[in-house]
């Protein structure tokens, strides 16, 4: 049941992001906002994921990882269900933020949950849950425009609340079982109780590993969310249709399935998987070049290439557990790496749009993303080296 709960929530962790980007032009016409609000909606996911990274580890320690995750499921469902129907731009932004904060808490706490319940099957379970994250990324993008055409954009956004709703019962069961386990442990004599490790209290910010993970996460997220937000606009500016933009976002999201299948295995089997990060970075660069110089010549190819690039994301998720010895060490590394990383990334979509507006060209924005690839590789080089967080911090 724990695996079912993890899988269902994993399916919810990107739906509020990719369900809206193909419909931004339609929503902006209806609600009356421009590129500035579109840019804010583009940066909101990484901002809220970053804030979740700051607070989720402490909330998990205070209330328990399972209870905090259940609360995150509820926030996600409420935000997704209500944001299309509470009128106005401000309400759309605020309720999107509520849903995204819940998703961000899930981003942070699922890796330590995997460490706690599946410590002997980290690569396998990581592959499973990251695959469902990818499914929840690709499906909303693919279905957004057809559903909006048939039933309106509000229905197209709200229907994804069914996914966290389905996750509620499994998570309630997990919380109940965890409470029973804790009560049983409290009844044991002191010498028989499980040891409580202190990894969560370590100064993670002093670890080069934590900063390496931060850059790997942050720069991958910056590029990914910039493309989620602006790929339809890049293609539209070149003469492509709204449906082409939605299809390419879906392809960009969906091609990550292959990455989720291979990345955990590569990280588990190779002591230092950095050479693979180099290959994924090359795909980013080739895709950016195609989108800049010949966007409509082979849009499917460019979407595939930039879809392979974010394989560094499941690599980083897997490395959280492979570079820590304990579930609380994993929680600390996850919270810092994803929290600070997403905060660094949150300005990416907005800055991409600002650079385009300032130069009336896509050259400088894609130059900015090219520099981001280099920074990502610097972080990957550090975190891919085989060692443990707890050992580095003593």
In the chain, where the domains are located: 2-187+202-393
d(CA 277, CA 298): 25
Q: CB-based contacts of 394: which residues, under 8 Å, 6+ apart?
A: none
The percentage of residues in the chain with a pLDDT greater than 70, rounded to a whole number, is: 94
Q: pTM of the full predicted structure?
A: 0.78
DSSP string, 78-139: HHHHHTTTS-SHHHHHHHHHHHHHHHHHHHHHHHHHHHHH-TT-HHHHHHHHHHHHHHHHHH
pLDDT of residue 201: 55
b vs e for 15-51, b when ≥16 Cβ sit within 10 Å of the residue's Cβ? bbbbbbbbbbebbbeeeebebebbbbbbbbbbbbbbb
Q: How confident is the model at residue 195 (pLDDT cuts 50, 70, 90)?
A: very low
User: Residue 132 pLDDT more than 60?
Assistant: yes
d(CA 275, CA 273): 6
Q: How confident is the model at residue 196 (pLDDT cuts 50, 70, 90)?
A: very low
d(CA 326, CA 77): 30
Can you tell me whether residue 197 is helix, strand or coil? coil
d(CA 257, CA 265): 14
pLDDT of residue 185: 54
Q: Which two tokens stand for residue 230?
A: 């602006």
d(CA 163, CA 113): 20
Least confident segment among 61-70, 133-142, 373-382:
133-142
Q: Which two tokens stand for residue 349?
A: 């979509």
DSSP string, 268-337: HH-S--HHHHHHHHHHHHHHHHHHHH-TTTSHHHHHHHHHHGGGHHHHHHHHHHHT-SSHHHHHHHHHHH
User: How many helices and strands, by DSSP H and E, does the chain display?
Assistant: 19, 0
d(CA 180, CA 159): 34
| Structure confidence by residue, pLDDT tens digits, 325-379 | 887 788 788 888 988 998 898 888 888 988 998 999 999 999 999 999 999 999 9
Q: Tokens 């709960």 sit at which residue?
A: 5
Nearest to 257 by CA among 308, 323, 216, 321: 308
CB atoms within 10 A of CB 267: 25
pLDDT of residue 234: 94
Q: How confident is the model at residue 100 (pLDDT cuts 50, 70, 90)?
A: very high
d(CA 340, CA 170): 30
Angle of CA points 381, 383, 385, to nearest 5°: 75
- Between 208-237 and 242-254, two packed helices, what is the crossing angle to 10 degrees? 150
Mean pLDDT on 122-141: 86
Q: Into which CATH architecture does domain 2-187+202-393 fall?
A: Up-down Bundle (1.20)
The distance in angstroms from the start CA to the end CA of the chain is 36
Q: How confident is the model at residue 188 (pLDDT cuts 50, 70, 90)?
A: very low
Least confident segment among 7-16, 238-247, 264-273:
238-247
Mean pLDDT on 235-262: 85
């Amino acid at each position: 049941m724990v695996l079912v709960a993890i899988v269902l929530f994993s399916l919810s962790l990107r739906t509020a992001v990719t369900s809206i980007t193909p419909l931004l032009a339609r929503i902006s016409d209806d609600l009356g906002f421009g590129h500035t609000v579109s840019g804010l909606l583009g940066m909101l996911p990484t901002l809220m994921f970053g804030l979740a990274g700051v607070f989720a580890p402490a909330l998990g320690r205070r209330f328990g990882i399972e209870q905090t995750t259940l609360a995150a499921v509820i926030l996600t469902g409420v935000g997704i269900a209500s944001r299309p129907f509470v009128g106005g731009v401000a309400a759309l932004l605020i309720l999107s933020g509520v849903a995204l904060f819940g998703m961000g808490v899930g981003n942070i706490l699922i890796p330590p949950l995997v460490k706690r319940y599946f410590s002997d099957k980290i690569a396998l379970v990581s592959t499973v849950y990251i695959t469902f994250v990818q499914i929840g990324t690709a499906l909303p993008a693919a279905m957004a425009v057809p559903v909006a055409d048939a039933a309106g954009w509000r229905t197209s956004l709200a229907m994804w609340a069914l996914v966290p709703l389905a996750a509620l019962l499994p998570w309630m069961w997990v919380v109940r079982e965890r409470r029973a386990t804790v009560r049983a442990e409290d009844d044991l004599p002191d010498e028989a109780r499980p040891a409580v490790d202190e990894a969560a209290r370590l100064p993670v910010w002093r670890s080069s590993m934590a900063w390496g993970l931060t850059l790997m996460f942050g720069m991958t997220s910056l590029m990914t969310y910039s493309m989620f937000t602006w790929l339809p606009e890049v293609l539209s500016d070149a003469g492509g249709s709204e449906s082409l933009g939605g299809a390419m976002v879906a392809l960009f999201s969906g091609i990550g399935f292959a990455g989720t299948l291979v990345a955990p295995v590569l990280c588990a089997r190779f002591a230092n998987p950095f050479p693979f990060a180099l290959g994924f970075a090359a795909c980013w660069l080739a895709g950016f070049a195609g989108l800049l110089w010949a966007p409509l010549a082979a849009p499917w190819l460019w979407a595939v290439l930039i879809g392979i690039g974010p394989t560094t994301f499941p690599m980083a998720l897997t490395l959280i557990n492979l570079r820590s010895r304990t579930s609380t060490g994993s929680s600390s590394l996850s919270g810092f790496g994803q929290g600070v990383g997403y905060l660094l990334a949150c300005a990416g979509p907005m800055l991409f749009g600002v650079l385009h507006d300032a130069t009336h060209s896509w050259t400088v924005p894609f130059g900015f993303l090219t520099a981001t690839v280099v920074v990502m590789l610097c972080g990957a080089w550090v975190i891919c080296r085989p060692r443990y967080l707890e050992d580095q911090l003593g």
